[in-house]
Structure 1
């Protein structure tokens, strides 16, 4: 951002476009005949989902805030109760 001389909003928009293009590629690859197992592809998609969740509203790693902490706890610590 600073090296390119663009505004923060322009940088965010560029990243959003990169994310959209990457999701499109991930979804296309899921339908293609790839030498990877379905499990590997699903794990890769889940990693991408977690990354998107952490960074979609800012820096979810370097800047500690309550919202990010709550998200991490709900994803990895607190179990999801399912009806029996």
Structure 2
């Protein structure tokens, strides 16, 4: 309950985590969504606004994610949220990077992408 009070006062850690998730998804799904005619995402919007190439836009989005991670880490170290809340917010960003590091790890049924994700989420760690 205390975390909900803090969230009203300072939602940045969730905002940064959600933005990392959004940008990681855009990087991972851009090629497929471009082919299917999906609505423009951050890469296409940046290209349209600046005249940048796809590679330049990708690099810019990666630099935005790097900046967001720095902001989120700073927020995590100065936050009044519980440690479990902070860990969850950070882990959302980590999960996004993991899921989209080799393309669309969410909707594509590629075993190279799906197997590590399934292992992370569903298979117990044997110790």
TM range (shorter): 0.7 to 0.9
**Greater relative CO, 1 or 2 (CA 8 Å, sep 6+):** 2
Runs of at least 4 residues off by over 4 Å:
none
TM-score scaled by length of structure 2 = 0.56
1:73 positional shift: 1.1
Q: CA RMSD, aligned part only?
A: 1.7
Aligned pair count reads 81
TM-score scaled by length of structure 1 = 0.79
Q: Which runs of 5+ in 2 are unaligned?
A: 1-42
Q: Deviations over 1:31-77 (max 9, x none)?
A: 11x23111100011111100011122323224331222112111111
Equivalent residues in 2 for 1:1-84, closer than 5 Å: 1-3=43-45, 4=48, 5-32=51-78, 34-82=79-127
